[in-house]
Structure 1
Amino acid sequence: MKFTVPNILTFIRVLLIPMFVAVVYFPDPWMTSEHSGLLAAIIFIIAAITDAFDGYLARKLNQTTAFGAFLDPVADKLMVMAALIVLVDLQRISSIIALIIIGREITISALREWMAQIGKSANVAVSTLGKVKTIAQMLAIPFLLYNQTFLGFIPCHIIGTLCIIIAAFLTLISMFYYLRVAIKVGF
């Protein structure tokens, strides 16, 4: 494995996952739930920023690696799935929403693997719809982790809930889009 800047950023993202999960569950004597929610949201945002930059830097610095191409989507999925499980546990999102998003991620990962095996991976490359879905998720999760009124007037729970509902809706649409494309070229 080659240690490139993008791969290091991806490793950092993987290491931040247990950190934001642990912070959410800090006991009250250590930190209030408001403070732990804010810190967890900040850690998640930092992880999301590394996600935005690692792929860009890999292309810009010509540092793409097979390992990075493997680890980046795994880190993304672990990050989102861990956050969704925490949010279900905290009763901030419905388990149905988590199942929709997690189920789609597993389905599309398997679909991409299958399409790669038959030499058609370009047909299920990340679409604009998939990117918009990811943005909605990455907006929703920090708001829901914090789950307070921010600066006295920003209702984080409402904004996060709206964004996660949009993300779940886009998740279904993008899944059907990818499945339709795969059916057309794969059979």
Structure 2
Amino acid sequence: METQPAIFWNLPNALTVLRIGAIPVLIALMTVPGRFVSFMAALVFLAAGMTDLLDGFFARRHRLVSRVGKFMDPLADKLLVSAALIMLIPLERIEAWLVFVIIGRELAVTGLRAIAASEGMVMAADRWGKLKTIFQMVALFALILHYPYLSIDFQRLGTVLIWIAAAITVASGTGYFLTFFHPAQSTKSIK
């Protein structure tokens, strides 16, 4: 798909900015303990996550893919996920070392992608990167919600899902590095 020049204000980019704008609201809500506030924080996280689906849909459907959007969209995702992960630590809903592994992988891959881009390599997302994002988002939603609803223990569900997400995160990050250092042996690229 052809990329437009640095056009900023279009619907997909506005949705991305909205996702970034939701982060301070999420952080503020997650500093207050309680069932209702956790529910509201989970709704904010869910709404922000939905903008990720919508901005990609509108960008492709209406041919509004831009260089700005290609930069801002993954940045917004990483900021949202990192904020949620970090805020879950003092709530004792996730282990700090697990947060470090997930965020550390994101930083390492982002740096590697920048190096690859400077050498003319394009490392786009593949199914593992998309699967990683889905598991992270669902796990974080459950961990933010935390309390049981409809006989579902969301803390336990979120814990299981975040472990799966972490495994996919590490595996996909490894694949990314293998792709970079051995491009002839691998044609896959990872988000």
- Quick one: distance in 2 between partners of 1:185 and 1:146? 41
Which aligned pairs between 1:1-187 and structure 2 lie closer than 5 A?
1-26=7-32, 33-121=34-122, 124-151=123-150, 153-185=151-183
Gaps of 5+ in 1: 27-31
If the length of structure 2 is used for normalisation, what is the TM-score? 0.90
- Quick one: distance in 1 between partners of 2:15 and 2:40? 20
- In terms of fraction of residues, the more helix-rich structure is 1
If the length of structure 1 is used for normalisation, what is the TM-score? 0.92
Contact 1:120 1:185 in 2 (8 A): no
- Quick one: distance in 2 between partners of 1:111 and 1:127? 16
Per the alignment, residue 3 of structure 2 pairs with none
Contact 2:31 2:87 in 1 (8 A): no
- Quick one: distance in 1 between partners of 2:16 and 2:30? 22
Contact 1:17 1:79 in 2 (8 A): yes
Identity %: 37
SS in 1 for 2:156: helix
- Quick one: distance in 2 between partners of 1:101 and 1:126? 17
The code of the aligned residue for 1:132 comes to L
SS in 2 for 1:96: helix
The code of the aligned residue for 2:135 comes to A
Deviation for aligned residue 1:14: 0.5
